[in-house]
Amino acid sequence: MRHFTEHLIESGTSIREALKVLDTLAKDAISFVVDGNKKLLGSLTDGDIRRGLIKGVELGASVDQIIQKNPKYIRKGNYDIQKVIKYRENDYRIIPILDKDDKVVNVINFGNMKSYLPVDVVIMAGGKGTRLRPLTEKTPKPLLKVGDKPILEHNIHRLSLFGMDDFWISVNYLGDQIEKYFGNGNHKNLNIDYVREEEPLGTIGSVCKIDNFIHDYVLVTNSDILTNLDYEDFFLRFREEEADFAVVTIPYKVDVPYAVLETSNGHVMSFKEKPTYTYYSNGGIYLMKREVTDRIPKNSFYDTTDLMEELIADGKKVLSYPLSGYWLDIGKHEDFEKAQEDIKSIKF
């Protein structure tokens, strides 16, 4: 993946130099012309240059003479997902992301991304991974490698494919290793910050330490999960259902090898021959409105299940999103071994 700045050229650049930049971009050949503060002025393609040359503009002239001055863009923190979907469906493949001051802060490419979701991500990566010892004695579980890269890197890659680029990673045990490995994320067009737990705060308690979310929606996920979840579909379902909170759930089928009788006061009312029952377990991936995070108590041990119970008791809409794809919680040695095999065939 290219760093987004490769698509930027400064105002005043000659058409000749701009052609060199477009040539290096190959199939992604579109540039965005910015001023000295990276404020967007326009876009430039090979076609714009060709039309300019036909009109008699010289190669040594400034690109400002031939740019498209009203290019499509997305305003970070202030856009609707339907706008993104419309761009994608209409084959607008490469789009600049602007902040409130029209500064280009990213460039998305639907050639290698699936969406651009208006969601902040919090990844819970502070656990000790005791069930995976001795592997986790000197290495935090999120940095254990599955295939050729750490578990957490698989997660961040999948999330970033759907355009989520604002991350907070909650760390505790050997957290300095995680911070050193991922840094601030800039080299991958991401913004990564860290939440440091001085003591364990439960499965969602550390979210109380974040007060600068950018978007109206927050996704909280465990760091030790491998999944090919379609995050856009998850988000769209959340919006369609007008939910306050949603949890990815994992279906489990239980086959009963005998007839099951339904009785009342000793009387058989009905029976089912060898029925199959489906139950749903917590998948460790949650989506919520930003205001829901205000319910998390400050610096107290607090689990996600506590939050869900509170929301349900208050009549808020808590949605179950059954996962139809791949999901694996890497908690035990046998899970870790399974992950090493699955990674060879499952596309994450």
| End position of a domain, from candidates 55, 90, 109 | 109
Type of residue at 343: I
Q: pLDDT class for 348, splitting at 50, 70, 90?
A: low
347 part of a folded domain: no
Tally of domains within the chain: 2
Place of tokens 């929606």: 217
Distance between CA atoms of 215 and 79, rounded to whole angstroms? Answer: 9
**Residue 153 and residue 18 in one domain:** no
**Residue 168 and residue 306 in one domain:** yes
Q: Read off the pTM.
A: 0.89
**Residue 255 and residue 321 in one domain:** yes
Provide the domain limits for residue 213: 119-342
**Residue 231 and residue 102 in one domain:** no
**Secondary structure (3-state) at 9:** strand
Average of pLDDT values for 274-292? 88
**Residue 63 and residue 139 in one domain:** no
Could you tell me whether strands 149-150 and 145-146 are parallel, antiparallel, or unpaired per DSSP bridges? antiparallel
Q: In the chain, which residue ranges form alpha helices assigned H by DSSP? A: 15-25, 46-54, 81-89, 151-161, 175-182, 231-240, 304-313, 333-342
**Residue 139 and residue 98 in one domain:** no
List pLDDT tens digits, range 211-239: 999 999 999 999 999 999 999 999 999 99
Q: What is the pLDDT of residue 51?
A: 94
Distance between CA atoms of 346 and 229, rounded to whole angstroms? Answer: 12
348 part of a folded domain: no
**Residue 190 and residue 309 in one domain:** yes
* Residue whose C-alpha is closest to residue 231's, from 311, 190, 286, 193: 286
The CATH number covering residue 188 comes to 3.90.550.10
**Residue 159 and residue 228 in one domain:** yes
* Residue whose C-alpha is closest to residue 283's, from 339, 331, 336, 218: 331
- In contact, 140 and 125? CB cutoff 8 Å: yes
**Residue 12 and residue 158 in one domain:** no
**Residue 189 and residue 57 in one domain:** no
* Residue whose C-alpha is closest to residue 319's, from 223, 233, 255: 233
**Residue 128 and residue 266 in one domain:** yes
Distance between CA atoms of 3 and 187, rounded to whole angstroms? Answer: 7
**Residue 257 and residue 277 in one domain:** yes
